[in-house]
Structures are given as C-alpha cells and as structure tokens.
Amino acid sequence: MSDAAQPVRTQQALRAAHLYYLQDLTMDAIADELGTSRSSVSRLLKYARDTGLVDIQIRSPLDQAAALSRSIRARFGVHAHVVPVPDHTSDVDRLERVALSAARILTQYIESNMVIGISWGSTVSAVSRYLVPKTTHGSTIVQVNGAANTRTTGIVYASEILRRFGEAYGALVQQFPVPAFFDDPATKAALFRERSIRRVLDLHERMDVVVFGVGAPQAPVPSHVYSGGYLDPADQDELVTAQVVGDVSTVFYRADGSWKDIGVNARAGAPDLDTIKRAPRRICVVAGRGKAASLRGALAAGLVTDLILDESVGQAILQN
C-alpha cells in the first residue's frame, strides 16, 4: 500500500470499527453504509485490530487467567497479564503466543517523549516481531545491555531487535556499543567514564519504561546469554558457586534477589539493577515453567512492575 493510501485506509478502518464495536451494526450493514463488500469490512476490522486502532480486552469473573493475575498481584505487588496457553503447547509455541500478547499489551504503555530501554534476549526478540505500530514523537529506544562477546560483535542480533522497536514507535534508536561482559572490571570502569558511553548511561538513568525477559540457565528454550557464547566455563562455574538463578540484562541474581556481591556482575556491560529499578515502569515478559525460579528471583529483587506471562509459569511462582 502506498504512503498516500495509508491515511484513507486508516480512516475507513476506524469508521468500520466504530460501526461494528460501538454501534453493534452487522458487517452486512456496515458494507451497505460504506458502499463496499462484506469481505472488505472484515479486512478493515482486521486492519483496525492489527494496527492498534482497536484494543480488545476480555474480562470475566470466571476467567482462570484473570483469577491467576489477581493472585500474582496480591502476592507480589505487580500488575500481571496472564496469557492462556494449553499445557500441551510446545515451549517454542508458548513463547510465540506470550510474545504476541506482550507486543499488543506493550502499545498502551508507550507514549511520546519517552526513553524506552530494551534489553536484548530470546524473549524480547520474539516480542519485537509482533509489535503493533504506534506513532510517537521525541521518543528514544535505548539498548540496555552490551551484546559483543568473543565470537561476535553482537551488533546484528541486538540492532535488529532495536530497529523493530524504533520503526514500530517512530523513535530514535541508541545502541550501547560495549561487550556483554568485559574481561576486567577496571576496563569497564574506564570505558564507562568515556563521554560517548556516558551519554548512553545517562539515557539509562532517564528510562521511563524498560522491557526485558529473564534469563534462566536451565530453561527449555535457552536464554541467549547462556547459549550464545557469552559465558566461558569459568564464568559458568562461578554462577553455580554463587547460586545464581537467573539474570536481567546480563546482571545475575540469586533466589532472594541479591546480586551486588556476584563477581561476574562487576564485568557486565550493563547498568546495575538499581538503575533499572529507578525506571517508573519495568515490563517483564516470561514464557514457560522452566523460568519460574528466575522470575521469582527477579520479583524478589523488586525489578518488575508489570508482568506478562503464561499460565504455567504463573502457577509455578505461586507454589512456593
């Protein structure tokens, strides 16, 4: 569709949505009013849903997912959106279904003049493929954690995720060109004093929204930081010794949420977890029971304000 035709299509879709959802007209009646076919009305309504003109929400006191959301909020003090996914669903399909829901929910939190932090990873990568376009002005997408390792620069992987967010929201994109993990904490400290890097760190301090998943060492769908060559055997041994259950933005933590004395974190190419906690809205997306321990640790650390997850991991975090 040409750029010139886009506003016309949007106006038609908006009118069709008003008639269908707010005035309860049938699609045949709408077709008559708009002078088009029933199939064209169906396509207009789909366009309205796909582009975020229409946001459909289901509320029922009998809805198990809604009841689970309320239990999670009561237990952990976070806003929870539970995505219904059957138990027999594969882990890959489960992630895709949660990512699709998360992408649509995320739209309501994104506004103009925001600094939006994006933490790369398998889950956020999946979310980025389903983003619903929403035009903003003066907003910036900033990469939260570095992506380079000894095998790759990480630029292609991280920049593709950032590009999708930037295009979806019409926002500027700011990469964070540092390693995922430095060899020496002193090198990190020196580089973080550089003005070019300090500029990105200042954006981290001003983040309004942060979007992230939780890494889990033993998840069936491997977290990218554990499967992508970012950790050498010595690092992995250290994580086991430190009783690490997961990470957010390549900063590791234990089951009780503690993280400051874990040695690998001193080399992480990322802001510390206190910086993330200063963002007013921190949206965590999780799929699969295998990430329950990591999610509980992130909740214990106070990292999450809004949680989008499937039923299986939601039930798991309430069991202990």
| CB-CB contact of 20 with 48 (8 Å) | no
Identify the pLDDT of residue 64.
77
Tens digits of per-residue pLDDT, 230-257? 888 888 899 999 999 999 999 999 999 9
Identify the pLDDT of residue 55.
74
Tens digits of per-residue pLDDT, 61-77? 446 788 899 999 999 99
Identify the pLDDT of residue 291.
94
Q: pTM, whole model, 2 decimals?
A: 0.80
Q: Which of 22-31, 33-42, 134-143, 209-218 has the lowest mean pLDDT?
A: 22-31
Confidence category of residue 87, pLDDT binned at 50, 70, 90: confident
Asked whether the predicted pLDDT for residue 106 surpasses 90, the reply is yes
Name the DSSP letter for residue 11: H
Confidence category of residue 10, pLDDT binned at 50, 70, 90: confident
CA atoms within a 13 Å half-sphere pointing along the CA-CB vector of 61: 0
Confidence category of residue 214, pLDDT binned at 50, 70, 90: very high
Average pLDDT, the chain: 89
Tens digits of per-residue pLDDT, 124-177? 999 999 999 998 999 999 999 998 775 665 667 789 999 999 999 999 999 999
Rounded Cα–Cα distance for residues 255 and 126 (Å): 26
Identify the pLDDT of residue 62.
45
Identify the pLDDT of residue 218.
74
Closest CA to 143 of 164, 129, 126: 164
Average confidence (pLDDT) over 193-216: 96
Identify the pLDDT of residue 152.
62
Residue 247: strand pairing partners? 215, 252
Rounded Cα–Cα distance for residues 71 and 107 (Å): 24
Residue 79: strand pairing partners? 306
Rounded Cα–Cα distance for residues 57 and 99 (Å): 17
Cα–Cα distances (Å) from 121 to 15, 19, 25, 156, 247, in that order, read: 39, 41, 44, 13, 11
